[in-house]
Amino acid sequence: MIGPAGITPIGSAGFPVVSVGVTMPQHRADLFLDPGSDPREGGPWLGDERATLTEFLRCQRLTLQLKCDGLDAGQLARRAVEPSTMSLLGLVRHMAEVERGWFRRRFAGFEVLKRY
């Protein structure tokens, strides 16, 4: 395998690193969805601060929505792993409060109470 600038990567044992059937890095979030139907693809990756923030939030929101789609209220409220108290519903509430805190309290300077 020839890397950037024609350099062959060498592993810690001194042997060339061989990539077997991997053409792109895979991320855990990508493993549950067919890449051809992933709505998170597209959008600007680099741009001004507003465009970058908007795209980041869009991707994060879509990832959470994809994980919650098709689940009923009981499944959303179920804890993932005991003794954790976190559920997908709890994560949705947390993310809503984090965004609310950043946009209303920090950026706009409003004095709003926490909801959760």
Q: pLDDT, tens digit, for every residue of 22-36?
A: 455 555 555 666 777
Q: Residue 3: what pLDDT?
A: 47
Structure tokens at 12: 């810690």
Q: Is the pLDDT of residue 90 over 70?
A: yes
**Which pTM does this prediction carry?**
0.60
Separation between Cα atoms, residue 112 and residue 52, nearest integer Å: 26
Reply yes or no on whether the pLDDT at 111 is more than 60: yes
**Per-residue pLDDT tens digits for 43-84:** 666 678 888 888 888 888 988 998 899 999 999 999 988 888
Give the pLDDT score at 38.
Answer: 76
74 SS3 class: helix
Mean pLDDT of 78-103: 88
Provide the residue ranges of all domains of the chain, joining segments of one domain with +: 44-110
Are the C-beta atoms of residues 44 and 51 closer than 8 Å to each other? Answer: yes
